[in-house]
A = this chain, B = another copy of it.
């Protein structure tokens, strides 16, 4: 299950980044499974697994805290490792690169699920808009603030743009796949690709200015943008 298929060849070239093709991206598991009888014998992941999850969460948490407090570039991996009480080696075992620690977007799968859950008679553009609006409406203020923080990091630190693109490429591909499945078209259909590209572009256009100016209204912008798209962008 390669995350971004194009990356496949990179490893041949003795590349530095993107070495480990490990199974991260199931983090956020500080409180493990909420459902289990205390004395269970069954599915409990085993101490080892739980320890790993805790270590990963600790590293990520400390990293993001330090990034926020003193900036991304000014934070060294050694400092993160110290704060999380592991060795630098261990940091890289969990995250492959300093950038990766910021990569995981918890909202992304939610978005896709919400989109998929839209009734089939709603056209793709409104369906997408509704999904976005629903997800954002369901967030607590804290979650929104975290999201904005992450967004600002991603946008303002040049080194992190790379992960931002990768996320977008990934999302775009998911959009295409979903549409292809739903409409019974091939995944390399030009119109589907253009749709995904245009939608991603529009979403960025809607969200980016909001990072700087919190007074902007998401719902309003979202509606404006998608309506404009749907009219064929008359100018």
Contacts and interface: CB of A to CB of B under 8 A. Distances in A.
A89 B192 CA distance: 47
Interface residues on A, range: 35 or more
A14 B159 CA distance: 13
A9 interface: yes
Nearest to A17: B158
Nearest to A162: B162
Contact of A195 (B9, B155, B204, B235): B235
Interface of A: 6-7, 9-10, 13-18, 71-74, 123-125, 155-159, 161-162, 164-166, 179, 183, 188, 190-206, 208-209, 221, 224-225, 228-235
B74 A228 contact: no
B225 A229 contact: no
Nearest to A156: B6
A198 B202 contact: yes
Contacts of A194: 201-202, 205-206, 224-225, 228-229, 233
A18 B188 contact: no
Closest 9 CB pairs of A and B: A197-B201, A201-B201, A197-B205, A193-B205, A198-B198, A13-B71, A15-B73, A162-B162, A232-B232
Q: How many protomers of this protein does the assembly include? A: 2
A205 B233 contact: no
Given A195-B233, A229-B233, 17 more contacts: A10-B157, A10-B158, A13-B73, A15-B158, A123-B235, A125-B233, A162-B165, A179-B235, A183-B235, A190-B206, A190-B224, A190-B225, A191-B228, A195-B228, A197-B198, A197-B200, A198-B202
Contacts of A232: 125, 229-232
A115 to B, nearest CB: 13
A199 B200 CA distance: 10
A155 B206 CA distance: 25
A164 to B, nearest CB: 7
Nearest to A188: B209
Contacts of A200: 197, 201
